[in-house]
């Protein structure tokens, strides 16, 4: 599975499943994501820090407030790539390991 697809699965899981972010927050860093996925993950972190629920609306609002060029449609499309969030922790570790390998 390629890196970008794993990123999309993890982000989609976070956006769709309450509590999913807290499962992966100690594993993942924003720089494990590429391109606009990094912006989305950073917005997720900030929404959580603001004490708001993490969902499509709050993350898109955060991106808009930061004047991001990421479109709400693209963020919403991340949720279409999701089969199940049951394996989000395993996917997060795969993403982390692929990122670590790319740095060495």
Domains detected in the chain = 3-103 (1.10.860.10)
Nearest to 12 by CA among 40, 48, 52: 40
Instruction: Work out the widest C-alpha separation in the chain, in whole angstroms.
Output: 37
What per-residue confidence (pLDDT) applies to 90? 87
How many degrees, rounded to 5, is the angle at CA 53 between CA 41 and CA 57?
70
Average pLDDT over residues 88-101: 85
What per-residue confidence (pLDDT) applies to 69? 96
> Residue 25: phi, psi to the nearest 5?
-60, -30
Structure tokens at 40: 């989305």
Hunting for tokens 């922790």 — which residue is that?
A: 89
Nearest to 16 by CA among 83, 102, 97, 93: 83
What per-residue confidence (pLDDT) applies to 33? 95
What per-residue confidence (pLDDT) applies to 84? 61
Nearest to 53 by CA among 83, 20, 79, 81: 20
- Tell me the pTM: 0.90
Question: What is d(CA 32, CA 75) in angstroms, rounded to the nearest whole number?
Answer: 17
Where is pLDDT greater, at 97 or 63?
A: 63
- Mean pLDDT score of the chain, rounded to an integer? 90
Hunting for tokens 């594993």 — which residue is that?
A: 27
């Amino acid at each position: 599975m390629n890196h970008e697809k794993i990123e999309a699965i993890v982000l989609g899981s976070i956006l769709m499943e309450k509590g999913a972010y807290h499962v992966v927050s100690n594993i993942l860093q924003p720089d494990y994501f590429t391109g606009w996925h990094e912006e989305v993950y950073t917005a997720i972190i900030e929404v959580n820090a603001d004490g708001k629920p993490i969902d499509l609306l709050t993350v898109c609002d955060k991106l808009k407030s930061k004047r991001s060029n990421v479109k709400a449609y693209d963020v919403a499309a991340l949720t279409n790539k999701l089969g199940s969030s049951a394996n989000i922790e395993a996917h997060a570790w795969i993403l982390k390991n692929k990122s670590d390998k790319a740095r060495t």
